[in-house]
Structures are given as structure tokens and as C-alpha cells.
A = this chain, B = another copy of it.
Amino acid sequence: MDGTKRQRRGNTRQRIQDVALALFAEQGYEKTSLREIAERLDVTKAALYYHFKTKEEILVSIFEDLSRPIDELIEWGKAQPRTRDTKREVLRRYGDALTGAAPLFRFMQENQATIRELSIGNRFKDRMLQMRDIIRDPDASLTDQVRCVSALFTMHAGMFALQDVEGDPEDKRKAVLEVAIDLVTQAHAGPSPAANA
């Protein structure tokens, strides 16, 4: 009638997820109450329970929806030969996936302690380990394995720890990717002569 509730029908589930993720990412999972989510949506707490069985289920559903690109990347990566170029492509695609689900990843990164006790904790960890196993040579030296983990963390760090650094976001993205690819490349190249300096 007055447009206030326009766009409101049928997509409440989606709107709950959006608001919840925004608040979870901003304040953390524990500090975000269902009351707060409901208030922002101008519905009652009970309405949330019509759409989701528990608070945790809201988070799980968000995770499932947004982490699908990563799943697909993992699946794709596993099917490829373990060449240097594959790894580079994996990192490129990983960068895209992270960008697409930035708030979720920011949330996962900043709420590890909380998430560990939740059902998605292990699932997230599994994905990370699978990513790691795609870009590292299983029999490589410890140092090279570290380089791979480091490449992954560099991508994450780049997403969040560089937010307050001057410079064009796109340039930063590129620089981060470059460093990550470098790391994998060096890992692939075997014992780096530079490290012996």
C-alpha cells in the first residue's frame, strides 16, 4: 500500500542473511544478537525463527551460499595437473573468490575462536587445508611448504590488512596477487639461491 513493505515479500530469507552477515562481520558473531538483526529488518525475532531454526543456522546458510565458489575452485584445482601454471591460475581464481565473498571471509578470519566451536569450523578448516594441498608440493621442503601457506595468507592479509594503506584498490589487488604468485613460483623452483645470502 505505501511501498514501505515493497520488495518485502518472498525475499525475507535473503534479507536476513544479508543483514546478519553485515552485522556478524562488523561486530562479530557473539556480539550480534537476534534482536539486533530483527530490529534492522523491522520484523520480530520470532520471524527469524520462521526462516531459520537457530542462530547458528543463519550463519551456516550464509557460509554455504557464499563459499560455493571456493568449493568449485577446489574441485577444479584437484582435477588439474600440479604444474606451476595451474597454481598461478588457482591463486588468480582464489583472489576473485575472496573478493566476491569479502565480508564472509573477513568474518571467518576475525572470528576464528568463535567459529571453531561451531559446525562450520571444521568445514572451513577443511577447505583451507584442501587449498593448501593444491598449491603445495607434498614432498617439497618444509620451507617451500611454508611458502605455499604464506601465499594463501598473503591473499587473506591483502584483503583486510591493507585496507588502511594508501593506493588504488585495484593496484593493491594486483600487488598482493603478484607476491602470492611469486611465493608459489619460488616454492616450485626448489631451493632458492636468494635464501642462502
Contact = CB atoms under 8 A, between A and B. Distances in A.
Residues of A contacting B: mostly: helix
B113 A27 contact: yes
Interface string A113-140: 1101100000000001000000000000
Nearest to A168: B142
Contacts of A153: 150, 153-154, 156-157, 161
Nearest to A154: B150
Given A110-B111, A142-B172, A150-B183, 12 more contacts: A27-B113, A28-B113, A28-B114, A111-B111, A113-B114, A145-B175, A146-B179, A149-B161, A153-B153, A181-B195, A182-B195, A186-B194
A162 B149 contact: yes
A170 B175 CA distance: 31
A182 B194 contact: yes
Contact of A150 (B27, B111, B179, B194): B179
Closest 4 CB pairs of A and B: A28-B113, A110-B112, A30-B30, A110-B113
